[in-house]
């Protein structure tokens, strides 16, 4: 039989819940991760703890995405973005926006994904070099939106920027993907 899931105690802090939720996700226990983050969302909402609620919504969004429930995942990231718009920090808002954009792109709704990516891009550019990997991931998603929309002229310069950022961050798989996207089709 599978491992019994412990939902924690009332005295467990949000950070401890988040750590358990992320650990379950790393271990491939998506259903456990979902249950932990669901409980964290409920607890944070009941306590009126908006920063923890926003983080819990992002964790729940990841867990829903892991189990293939993209509409629910999008809903949770949207909720987190609403909170982060009000309470900050900007980097957390950009994170929620980018992940929502990825989900919307996966749902084949490029017109809805594009403005989310563009907003996240603007925030990450203001963050400077510390956000290079996040910026690369955001621009990659935007390039994929353009590519899927038949706008190769707009996707190519983005893939060039992404390749340079991934090279700077030493993400070889990202560099390789960009080189494949940029190579002439035979």
Domain range annotation of the chain? 12-88
Please say whether the beta carbons of 62 and 33 come within 8 A: yes
Please say whether the beta carbons of 77 and 55 come within 8 A: no
pLDDT in tens, the chain (186 residues): 333 334 444 468 889 999 999 999 999 999 999 999 999 999 999 999 999 999 999 999 999 999 999 999 999 999 999 999 999 999 999 999 999 999 999 999 999 999 999 999 999 999 999 999 999 999 999 999 999 999 989 999 999 999 999 999 999 999 999 999 999 874
Of the candidates 130, 158, 134, the one whose C-alpha atom is nearest the C-alpha of residue 145 is 158
Residue 186: predicted pLDDT: 42
* The token pair that represents 81 in the structure block: 């973005």
**pTM of the entire structure?**
0.89
Report how far residue 27's alpha carbon sits from residue 135's, in angstroms, rounded to the nearest whole number. 27
* The token pair that represents 164 in the structure block: 């340079």
Domain 12-88: top CATH class: mainly alpha
Residue 11: predicted pLDDT: 60
Report how far residue 41's alpha carbon sits from residue 57's, in angstroms, rounded to the nearest whole number. 6
Please say whether the beta carbons of 139 and 158 come within 8 A: yes
User: Residues 6 or more apart from 122 whose CB is under 8 A from it?
Assistant: none
Please say whether the beta carbons of 100 and 77 come within 8 A: yes
Report how far residue 53's alpha carbon sits from residue 55's, in angstroms, rounded to the nearest whole number. 5
User: Residues 6 or more apart from 51 whose CB is under 8 A from it?
Assistant: 83, 87
Residue 76: predicted pLDDT: 98
Residue 47: predicted pLDDT: 94
User: Residues 6 or more apart from 96 whose CB is under 8 A from it?
Assistant: 54, 57, 58, 61, 77, 80, 81, 84
């Amino acid at each position: 039989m599978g491992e019994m899931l412990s939902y924690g105690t009332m005295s467990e802090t949000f950070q401890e819940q988040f750590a358990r939720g992320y650990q379950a996700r790393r271990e491939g226990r998506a259903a456990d991760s979902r249950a932990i983050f669901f409980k964290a969302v409920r607890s944070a909402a009941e306590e009126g703890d908006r920063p923890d609620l926003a983080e819990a919504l992002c964790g729940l969004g990841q867990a829903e995405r892991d189990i293939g429930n993209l509409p629910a995942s999008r809903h949770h990231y949207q909720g987190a973005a609403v909170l982060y718009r009000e309470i900050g920090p900007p980097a957390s808002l950009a994170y929620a926006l980018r992940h929502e954009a990825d989900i919307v792109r996966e749902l084949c709704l490029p017109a809805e994904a594009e403005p989310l990516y563009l907003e996240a891009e603007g925030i990450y550019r203001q963050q400077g070099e510390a956000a290079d990997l996040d910026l690369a991931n955001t621009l990659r998603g935007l390039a994929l939106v353009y590519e899927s929309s038949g706008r190769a002229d707009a996707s190519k310069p983005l893939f060039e920027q992404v390749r340079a950022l991934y090279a700077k961050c030493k993400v070889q798989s990202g560099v390789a993907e960009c080189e494949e996207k940029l190579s002439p089709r035979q």
